[in-house]
Structures are given as C-alpha cells and as structure tokens.
Structure 1
Amino acid sequence: MLIQFSVENYMSIRDKVFLSMEPSKDSEHPENIIEKGKCSAVNTVAIYGANASGKSSLFKAITVAILMVRNSNNVQVTDKLPVIPFKFDAESVNKPTSFEFTFVAGDNKKYIYGFSATAEKITEEYLYRYGTAKPTLLFDLKEGETPKFNRAYKTKLETVYEMNTPNKLFLATATNWNVECTKIPFEWLADSIDTFTDVMTLSGFAFDKYRTDESKGYVDFTKKLLRQADINISSISVDAKEIMANNIPFQILMQGKPFPSEESKHFEVEITTGHIITKEDGKKEEYKLTLQEESLGTQLLFFYGPILKDAFEKGKTIVLDEIDKSMHPSLVKFIINLFRDSDINSKGSQLIVTTHETGILTLDMFRRDQIYFTEKDYQTGVTDLYSLDEFSVRKTENIEKGYLLGRYGAIPFLCGEEVL
C-alpha cells in the first residue's frame, strides 16, 4: 500500500513535490479508505492539469524510480542512470534527482525508502522501517559520509556495501545477497506497484498475460468486465505464435538478447472477439472480429483487464496516465468505482490516474484529499503539485465548475488572438 511518493529535480519538477495517499481528517467517503497494518490510505487519486503542466513528469518519475530498483542488479559499471534533472537553471541541471517512497509492505510494516542519483552514480540511499511510532534505521548511505547500518544486520550490510558499485542501488544489491531486512521492501517495489504511461506498455503487459493464461482466468475476468461495461462481446479467443528470429523487427534484434533462450522469444498474439447478432428472422449467429477492429475504448478495456485482475487479487497499486483517453466518461467512472467497492477491492488495491475528464470531479465520488492538480509556472518552467485539500471547499461546492472557472488553477489560459 502506497502512502506517499515524493520527487525533486526531475524533468519539469524542480522543487520537491509530494503525492500523498494518507487520508486527512476529512470524514467523508469512508469507503474510499483502505487499511493495512496500523496504516490507512485512500484507494484512488485523480490528478488534473493542463497539457504540458507536468502530470506525465510525475508519472515518469514514479516509473523511473521503480525501474531503477528493479533493474539495478543488471546495471553494468559503465551504464548511465536514466535520470533527467530540471534543465531550466544552471544549478538544478548539475544536482542529483531524488525519489522517496513511503509504503506498507507484505509484512504489514511501514517503510521509507529513498535515493538520489545523477546519470553517473547514486549519491544517497536510505531505508527505514516502522515498528513503533519512531522509525528504525536499516541503512543510510550518503556520498562522502560514513555509511550507517542497523546493528542487527551491520556485518552483512557492510560486506555487501564493499561489493556494490556506485551506479547500483544498495537495496537491490543487498536483496540479491539475501540480506533479510531489505527483502520485503524490495519485493514491494518490485511486485506491488506498476505504472502504465502509454498504450504500448499497457498492450505489452496485457498480451503477455493473455498469452500465458492457461487457466483462462484473465480472459474470463475481461469478459465479465466488458459485460459489466455494457459491451456486447460473447466470446474471446487468444492465439499466440512464436516469431522466428528472421521475422523479428530490426529494433528488437538490436536489443542484443541471445537466441534461443526463453527470454529472447517473441510472440505474435492475436485476440479474436465474438459478437452474437440477431437476424431479421429472429435467429442468432456469432460473428468474429479481431481486436484491432474493435473501438479504441474496447481495446483499452482489453488491456485494462489483466491489470485490474492482478490489482484486485494481489492488492497492488496501479498508476495509469490519461485513463480517459478514448474512454467514455461513464467507463472512467466505472473503473474508478471498482476500486471504491470493498467487495471487489477486498485486498486494498489503489489506483492513481491522470485525467481531463471533469465529469468525475465531484465530492459525491471523491474526498478532497483524493483530488490533485499540477500547474506549471510558464515563466520558470517549474511544475507544482497540490491537493484540493489545500483549499477551503464547502461540501456542497460544485468542484467541476470551480475547476473549469480556474478557481483551483491547473487549467490552460487561452488567448483570444487570431491563430492565422
């Protein structure tokens, strides 16, 4: 369960911003609160903002931080790290980028894990665990300072520290060497939070799940999802064919993966849908379409199916950029309400989305601490992130109207000059 994410000096984000899932003292919508261990968090957050205001910068920051943890053990000594500092002032461009996660892991304990990095090296990294109200240090590493380690694990952590390279995250290296105190927080970052920032990422994840779905669990879940969304699909079939090396696009071959290992195999996945049509004589007949022939909204629901199934079964945190893209407002509301339904979301999964869909921007659906805005200062190029909870908003206020009128910022201000 994610409690908070913060980032500083990444892309359009210069100053540290916080995305908090921790509920405020607001007593509205108790169904939007989930609990794990001694902690609580909101189950959904919607982020609004004008185009180019920094919403994608925030989501890319979460993605990069997670991937750096997951891929750290594969980093070579000469590899550059994928951090992009704020480039619109001379000071920031030479400073490290910083990320921090606060979360409840599989042992129901709260952890704080963060690191700072340049393209060449990790300059700071730390991990704390809460057993009581006071955090316990597990490790704290800062460039140029003596490393600090928890006494109970000091000997093993010191040994791993000596073997680690400057461009590898210590959390990943220690876990790889079976250090007990790092395993559980590493597993949460590796398995319990996923980001999807574009359709290619969505489709790749979904197709892989459908391809390996021997029990047809993902297909059955998606069929049910489509039926609940009032989409007339009676059957789904999945056909996966392995692509031979000479048929793989040049860009994939250039990744340098060896053949014929399992990891290097590539598959072409074809999904066919069935539609039962009633003829004029009353007889019913099923017709087939490929997934590509379906509407973009239907295709997106196909891609969301495996993601949602995994989230609800494993209690994962899912981050989706532009959930309203090619999606009817009612479907956007439908997906968000799945996370608000305790019978469906019994494991405490979370959904974080960016959207321009203002039809769901209402206090009948969200608490004030579940609505965030991004706004860019177009003189400095700096993105700010803030919550509706920072405003004095009445419970009866029309949030959608207030947002569109610019009461909370985060909207484009269009000039009336002629374009041509």
Structure 2
Amino acid sequence: MLLEFKVRNFRSIKDWQNFSMLAESKIKEHENNVITLDNYHVLSTSLIYGRNASGKSNLLNAFKALQYLVFESGDFKLDKKIPAFEPFKLDSRYSKDPTEFYIDFIADDNIRYIYEIGFNNTEIEYEILKFYPKTQPATLFERIKNKPIKYGEYLTGRKKDIEEKLYNNQLFLSKVGVEKLEALTSPYKFFSRGLFVSNFHDSKYDELLIQIYTNRIANDNLPFFKENMNILMKEADTGIERIEVTEEDIDVDLLPKEMSDEKKEELVEKYKRKIRTIHKFFDGDKEVGTVDFKLDEESTGTIKLLAMGGLILEALADGQVLIIDELDKSLHPKLTKVLIEIFHSKKTNPKNAQLIFATHDISLLNNELFRRDQVWFAEKEYEGCSHYYSISDIPGVRANAPFEKYYMSGRLGATPVINKNELNFQF
C-alpha cells in the first residue's frame, strides 16, 4: 500500500515534488474511499489531471523507473550506465545532480517502510531503507557513496556477502532477488509484486496483456480470475456472455529455421491459447444458441476492457498498487467510473488494492465520486518544470464544489492556455 512518493530531478520534475495517498484528516467526505489499516488512513484511488506535456506521465514514469531499478539493477554489468537517469534538461545545474526517489509504503507483512535512493548516470549515490518495527523508525541499512554500508540491528544474515558483490550501479535491495535476506524480502516484493505500472498505450501492449491473462485462465493459477472476468465483461454491456480459452495449432515450420527447437516450443506454448468471446445467437428475435468471436472481431473498447480488466482483477486479488496512464482510453466514461468504484468498495476490494491514474476525462471530475484529496493536478511552470497539487491544497474549495466547472473555468489551474488569434497558418 502506497503512503507517499517524492521525486526530484527526473524528466520534467526539477525540485522535490510530493504525491501523497494519505487521507487528509480535515476532509470528511466519502469515508468509503479511505482504507484504514492500524493507525493509517489511506486513499484507495487518486487521479491526475493536467494539460498535455504538463508532467502527468512523468510522475507515473518515476514510479516505473524506481521499480525497474529495484527489480533489474542487481543484474547490471560493471560498466552499464543507469538507464533510469533522466535529469531535468532545462537547467544546466541539474545535469550533474542525482535523480532522487523517496517512497513510503506498507508491504505485505503490514509493516511500514521508507526507501530513499539517489543516483547519477553511472552509480548509486545513496540508498537508505528504514522501517517501523514499532512506533519509531529504525534503519535496516544506509549506503552512502564511498563509505562502508551501515547495517541496523534488525538486518541479520549474510549481508557482507552481498556488499562484496555489489557494483556501484546496483541497488543493494535489488540483490535480494537472488540473495536471500529475510528482513528485506517484504520490501523487495512490494516492488516486484505489489506495484504495477501500465504506461503503454498501443494495441500491441493490450494484446500482450491479454495473452498473459489468457495463459493464466488456462493454467488456472489465479483463483476465480476467469469467473470474475466473465462477470466484468457481461455486466459492462459488451454483449459478451462469457469468454473461453481454446488451443490452436501453430505451424512450427513457419518459424525461422535458425531458431532452436527449445525456443520454438517456448513460443508455441506461450501463444497457442486464444480467447474466444461467446455471444448470444438469434433466429429473428428468438434466441437459439451462442456463437463465438475471435478477439480481433471485437471492438477496440472491448479489447481495451479485457486488458484493463485483467490488470484490475489481478490488483484486487493481490492487493496491488495499480498505476495506469490514461485508464479511460477507448473506454466509455460510465464504464471507467464503475472500474474506479470497484476500488472504493470494501466488498469488491477486500485486500486494499489502490488505483492511481492519469486522465483527460473531465466527466470523472465529480464530487460525488472523489474527495478533494484524491484529485491531483500537474502544472508546468514558466521554466518548464512540473509541480503537483490536489484540490485540497487550493484554499476555499468546498466538498460540494462543482469540480468540473471549476476546472474548465481555470479556477483549479492545470488547463491549457491557447491563443487562437496566434494561429496564423500559411498555406
């Protein structure tokens, strides 16, 4: 569960910017949108608005960059540059400064952790992991460039073995993926399993997601996934009664001859299963049976719903933090609203999953759906840097304010400034 995220010197983000999922105590509306765990009161959803190029996607990409480093940097070669280093380019002073991330979260052991890193193009400048065994924070490890790593009393095990194998471009926490340290397993799993960032928009990505979920349905390795997907597709008024998975023959002779038999077998196993959508079949106005459709016969919106629905169902099943860039793309606004409300219900979200997404759909900007601390805006300053704020940061906006009207009139900021008089095209 995400509590707070901070980032500095990453893409359009110049100075420290804070994004919080902690519910503000002064805000009393929509208590069902708040998850209470021990003494923490956390928002189940947040959405981010802003004009094009304001930095919405860059905030979400910062989550992805941090996750990537935790998950992958343990395998970096000695001389590999750190690909996540993308400093703010519009101020010369920042090109040599580190990119910095700070994340405050509750892992699957129900313990709160704070993880901080700073890095440049070639090395990790600092890496600090703290946790809350009781009411006060304790350090698990602290790593500062050119200094020995300091270990807290709670971190036991063969940590020195990891330190000796650690390159300057690798995160210590990333090594937990292959070197077991019990005290670091839960924070590592938060990044590897508890956080999912979907920041691609093309149809190929949707097809890949659908293939992944097709195989999971076939292998029955996610309980009730097929049943829940059928409920979602039917209730979303797609005309689909249910989905089925079939196996198709793949002609291996069509694969490149230079490909190994092992690789061919792997590809066949991965792609032989296909989803078929089952629809009612009629003779005039009389229902006489069913007919199945191939996936490419369905609408773009239905395919998008299958992809997004899979992400959402998996997040709900595992209690994930799900971050999506443009959740509403190709979906009807009423359907997007229903997907959001799933996270607001204790019945449909018993494991406290969270949804964070960027959007341009102002129909969602509704005080009947969101609290003031759930609605965020990305604004780009004159110097080209992004900053982020919520409605609750704006003085004088009441709980019953017409959010959509205020936003479109410019009262909440983060709207494009377009001077039509300057559009002097020449033909």
Q: 2:122: which partner in 1?
A: 120
Q: Kindly indicate whether the alpha-carbon contact (under 8 Å) linking 1:221 and 1:305 is maintained by their aligned counterparts in 2.
A: no
Shift of 1:244: 7.5
Q: 1:4: which partner in 2?
A: 4
Shift of 1:335: 0.4
Give 1:378-393 correspondences, 5 Å limit. 379-392=382-395, 393=397
Q: Kindly indicate whether the alpha-carbon contact (under 8 Å) linking 1:218 and 1:309 is maintained by their aligned counterparts in 2.
A: yes
Distance 1:300 1:394, change over 3 A: same
Deviation track 1:144-182 (CA, whole Å, cap 9, x = no partner) reads 344321034367333422221111110122453222221
Distance 1:240 1:195, change over 3 A: farther
Shift of 1:247: 5.3
Q: Distance in 2 between matches of 1:415 and 1:248?
A: 55
Q: 1:310: which partner in 2?
A: 314
Distance 1:121 1:242, change over 3 A: farther
Partner secondary structure for residue 189 of structure 1 = helix
Q: 2:61: which partner in 1?
A: 60
Shift of 1:245: 7.8
Q: Distance in 1 between matches of 2:100 and 2:248?
A: 42
Q: 2:409: which partner in 1?
A: 405
Q: 1:98 aligns with which of 93, 97, 100?
A: 100
Q: Which amino acid counterpart does residue 390 of structure 2 have in structure 1?
A: S
Q: Distance in 1 between matches of 2:100 and 2:250?
A: 41
Aligned length: 415
Distance 1:170 1:374, change over 3 A: same
Q: 2:231: which partner in 1?
A: 224
**Sequence identity, in percent?**
29
Deviation track 1:96-148 (CA, whole Å, cap 9, x = no partner) reads 11112111111111000121122211111010001233210111111134432
Deviation track 1:324-360 (CA, whole Å, cap 9, x = no partner) reads 1111110110100000111010110100011111112
Q: 1:293 aligns with which of 292, 297, 308?
A: 297
Name the stretch that deviates more: 315-324 or 114-123. 114-123
Partner secondary structure for residue 153 of structure 1 = coil
Q: Distance in 1 between matches of 2:256 and 2:3?
A: 41
Q: Which consecutive residues of structure 2, in runs of 5 or more, have no partner in the other structure?
A: none
Name the stretch that deviates more: 199-208 or 160-169. 199-208
Name the stretch that deviates more: 241-250 or 99-108. 241-250
Q: Distance in 1 between matches of 2:142 and 2:130?
A: 8
Deviation track 1:269-315 (CA, whole Å, cap 9, x = no partner) reads 53221221433252434233222221221111111222222111211
TM-score when normalising by structure 1: 0.91
Q: Which amino acid counterpart does residue 58 of structure 2 have in structure 1?
A: S
Q: 1:186: which partner in 2?
A: 188
Distance 1:322 1:27, change over 3 A: same
Q: Distance in 1 between matches of 2:134 and 2:225?
A: 40
Q: Distance in 2 between matches of 1:142 and 1:235?
A: 55
Give 1:83-94 correspondences, 5 Å limit. 83=84, 84-94=86-96
1:110 aligns with 2:112: yes
Give 1:11-410 correspondences, 5 Å limit. 11-25=11-25, 26-83=27-84, 84-153=86-155, 156-174=158-176, 176-199=178-201, 200-213=204-217, 214-215=219-220, 217-239=224-246, 259=263, 266-267=270-271, 269-280=273-284, 282-377=286-381, 379-392=382-395, 393-410=397-414
Shift of 1:241: 5.5
Partner secondary structure for residue 381 of structure 1 = coil
Shift of 1:404: 0.6
Q: Kindly indicate whether the alpha-carbon contact (under 8 Å) linking 2:156 and 2:181 is maintained by their aligned counterparts in 1.
A: no
Q: Which consecutive residues of structure 1, in runs of 5 or more, have no partner in the other structure?
A: none
Partner secondary structure for residue 102 of structure 2 = strand
Partner secondary structure for residue 70 of structure 2 = helix
Q: Distance in 2 between matches of 1:246 and 1:16?
A: 55
Name the stretch that deviates more: 403-412 or 241-250. 241-250
What's the RMSD between the two structures over aligned residues? Answer: 2.6
Q: Which amino acid counterpart does residue 389 of structure 1 have in structure 2?
A: S
TM-score when normalising by structure 2: 0.90
